[in-house]
Amino acid sequence: MAKRGRKKKKEEITIKSNETKIFFGLVLLLLGIATLSSPFLSGTLLEYILQFFGYASILWGITMCYLATILIWDLDIKNGNKILAGLIILSITSTIFLSFWLPEDYVYSENYIAGGRIGAEIHFQLVEILSKPIEFAFLIIMYAVGISLFTGIRLEKITGVFTRLFEDVDDDENYEKNNQEGQIQFNGDEDINETVTEDVPVPDGGKYVETPISTEEISKEPKDSKKELEPQFSNWKFPPLSLLQNPVKQKQDTKIHERNASIIEKTLESFNVSSRVTNISIGPTVVQYALSITVGTKVAKVKTLTNDLALALAAPASSVRVEAPIPGTSLIGIEIPNPTPNFVYVKEMVSELTNSEKPYELPLLLGKNVAGKTEIRDLIDLPHLLVAGATGTGKSVGINSIILGLLMTKSPDELKFILVDPKMVEMSLYNEIPHLYTPVIVDMELLNNALQWTVQEMNRRYRILKQAKLKKITEYHAREGAESMPYIIIVIDEMADLMLSTGVDVESKIVRLAQMSRAVGIHLILATQRPSVNVITGLIKANVPGRMAFSVTTSIDSRVVIDQMGAETLIGRGDMLFKSPASPRPIRIQGAFTDTPDIENVINFVKDQAGKEIEFLDDITKPVENEITPSGEKSHSKDQLFQDALNVVVNAQKGSASLLQRKLRIGYNRAASLIDDLEEAGVLGPQDGSSPRKVLITSPDQFFDSSEEEKDE
């Protein structure tokens, strides 16, 4: 009876229910159609509406119909509030403006219709308060604001139209005046020799005259104020949820979970641990039993009984995990595999994301925790992510789910990818999508060039923020729009192959990006199936705080990834431990599942919408030219490893031949020669006994920037 009562309560119609919205939407739609047609049709109600709104009733009717469609179909229109506000402002302003031009006597007459009664009353109030000239200026400003909100065009562009209009008028007057004299006149105080001339056509038989352009104006353009491209996909539509497969769920048998809870209590009791299961959290693939133990019982004693619990529950010993304590509680969690597991599908994750009130800049669709709660994170808060796990544990599926979630929610103007796939098959599907800066990189030599380009792009963006007097990319987006400086995400699918083939050169660039690129919207997602200290070095770990640890083979690998044991007890198939700066202890999550048909459907939709051949940036994978040194030469050393040696000593903040030997895998003679070259270049200090040489700069850019400045001088 209690359950039936709750169902009836849920079906009650309230002011916020869908039935109420649809009812008011239908009423508003009927009223909007009547208002819209009042200037064209006759009828008592229509005549009353026309007298009230005047000819502006056309705009008022459109506004009502727009709001009605949102209520009836429960539409989630992007920028819908701005469009509605723009329509309301345009309707009110038009109502007043139609009364502004007419004589006062006519406005008060019975035959007056133009602005309606409401327009006339507001007009006379404004005249009394502001005076007629100021009212006119006020109405023009309101029109500009309304058009900006309705169309999405920034006020800067709208006012720029009027500015260019007045400039064109002035130019035409000067042009006609100068043509009457037969030539372009220079002011007496101008220095003609310090001007750059430009051919400008004039209507005198095809002849050309020279118009001066001051070199001062040219020099005002800063070197690094590179104009970003205009949005190419302003009408971008996000892929619909119908492209993704529907979740398949298995019904849970609560009796099995209750029986397991009883077995856990009895097993612990046999080892003199008094406990009671207070809560059962049924997750997608894991069930967590929350235990309350008596005061004085050591938590370590419960942890040592995992094998005994596995034996009693008939579960694999390696898959029983103890969470002690459960964060935010005084309970101990016993986690075992769910006998009737359910996968977490990307479709339900994207649906949860679109209905979420929390704004996400770069949403990461992780999955669901042991309590069945959806886990979504923002990449800009991490700001980089390390993904590790043994072969076949769901690492590649997790990366594909993350990429797919970003494609479902971000346009090519807002987000760009650089994808690296040494295995050549994992990410080949993503080729030719408009979100890519360059085709999927499979050659590790090209990756070195791409990372160098990214470092230069990072420096360029910092200079733009400095000129704009802003600290981070979100502030720049608020001023200029997301398309003005799109986010860049670099996804490297296999770090082990990368580190073995390229070594310290790529590592130094990755570390540099991880240290500095967050503020300018460049983020890294690094994945590996061999989480050893040779692949995930200390510098990389220190600068990549976001960690996704899938099942690994040993507890040592688990420590490398998440700095503690636990990942070796995961059950695989998307089961992971996620660690972020916001949570000091890792959270167990069942990763989102996506299949090849889902990826193909979304990619085909994205490609079809682009509608044209994608133009990639060729400069990304081209070799970078040698940097200029302070002496003006291409390099202080003929050795090709000079720049690599520079990166090594700057990152380590010490310089010695033995350090270069270890990092660059070279002999002593070559390492000693590079140390001498670095000292000559002003990077290292002189020899001080047996101590390592002091590094005189904190960043390789200081060396190259000083080179460029001296070259300019």
List Cα–Cα distances, 641 to 44, 293, 634, 644, 683, in angstroms: 89, 61, 14, 5, 15
Task: Tell me which range, 220-234, 346-360, 375-389, is most confidently predicted by mean pLDDT.
Answer: 375-389
Across-strand partners of 528? 388
Is a pLDDT exceeding 90 seen at residue 526? yes
**Is 231 within a domain?**
no
Predicted confidence (pLDDT) per residue in 671-713, tens digit = 888 888 888 887 888 877 777 888 888 877 777 665 555 545 5
| Percent of all residues in the chain with a pLDDT value above 90, rounded to a whole number | 30
On whether both 550 and 599 belong to a single domain, the answer is yes
**Is 704 within a domain?**
yes
Number of domains in the chain: 4
Q: What is the mean pLDDT of residues 550-555?
A: 92
On whether both 485 and 592 belong to a single domain, the answer is yes
Distance between CA atoms of residues 624 and 370, nearest Å: 48
On whether both 516 and 589 belong to a single domain, the answer is yes
| Cα 466 from chain centroid (whole Å) | 21
Least confident span in 83-92, 516-525, 591-600: 83-92
Is a pLDDT exceeding 50 seen at residue 634? no
On whether both 556 and 693 belong to a single domain, the answer is no
**Is 131 within a domain?**
yes
Count of Cβ atoms closer than 10 Å to residue 11 Cβ? 9
Token digits of residue 260: 């397991």
Query: Can you give the pLDDT at residue 16?
Result: 61
Half-sphere exposure of 709 (CA within 13 A, CB side): 6
Q: 102, 136, 157: which is the final residue of a domain?
A: 157
**Is 204 within a domain?**
no
| Cα 689 from chain centroid (whole Å) | 50
Specify whether the CB–CB gap between 546 and 382 falls below 8 A: yes
Distance between CA atoms of residues 391 and 382, nearest Å: 25
Over the chain, what is the mean pLDDT? 80
Gyration radius of the chain over CA positions? 34
Distance between CA atoms of residues 470 and 476, nearest Å: 7
Specify whether the CB–CB gap between 190 and 212 falls below 8 A: yes
On whether both 43 and 91 belong to a single domain, the answer is yes
Can you give the pTM of this predicted structure?
0.60
| Percent of all residues in the chain with a pLDDT value above 70, rounded to a whole number | 81
On whether both 380 and 524 belong to a single domain, the answer is yes
On whether both 381 and 329 belong to a single domain, the answer is no
On whether both 104 and 42 belong to a single domain, the answer is yes
Distance between CA atoms of residues 106 and 98, nearest Å: 12
Note the helical H segments in 271-427: 299-303, 306-313, 346-354, 395-409
Predicted confidence (pLDDT) per residue in 93-141, tens digit = 888 888 777 776 666 666 667 777 788 888 888 888 888 888 888 888 8
Q: Is residue 226 classed as helix, strand or coil in its secondary structure?
A: coil
What is the signed CA dihedral for 290, 294, 298, 299, rounded to 10 degrees? 10
Is a pLDDT exceeding 90 seen at residue 218? no
**Looking at residue 285, which CATH number applies to its domain?**
3.30.980.40
Is a pLDDT exceeding 50 seen at residue 217? no
**Is 429 within a domain?**
yes
**Looking at residue 663, which CATH number applies to its domain?**
1.10.10.10
pLDDT-based confidence at 187, cuts 50/70/90? Answer: very low
Distance between CA atoms of residues 127 and 133, nearest Å: 9
Q: 149 is in which domain, residue-wise? A: 15-157
Least confident span in 210-214, 323-327, 640-644, 683-687: 210-214
Q: What is the mean pLDDT of residues 278-303?
A: 90
**Is 434 within a domain?**
yes
Query: Can you give the pLDDT at residue 504?
Result: 67
Is a pLDDT exceeding 70 seen at residue 170? no
On whether both 329 and 366 belong to a single domain, the answer is no
Is a pLDDT exceeding 60 seen at residue 555? yes
Token digits of residue 410: 């971000």
pLDDT-based confidence at 561, cuts 50/70/90? Answer: very high
On whether both 387 and 469 belong to a single domain, the answer is yes
Residue type, 50: L
On whether both 456 and 589 belong to a single domain, the answer is yes
| Cα 84 from chain centroid (whole Å) | 27
**Is 219 within a domain?**
no
**Looking at residue 446, which CATH number applies to its domain?**
3.40.50.300
Q: 157, 180, 205: which is the final residue of a domain?
A: 157
Q: 128, 157, 186: which is the final residue of a domain?
A: 157
On whether both 396 and 537 belong to a single domain, the answer is yes
Q: What is the mean pLDDT of residues 329-355?
A: 91
**Is 560 within a domain?**
yes
Distance between CA atoms of residues 233 and 240, nearest Å: 17
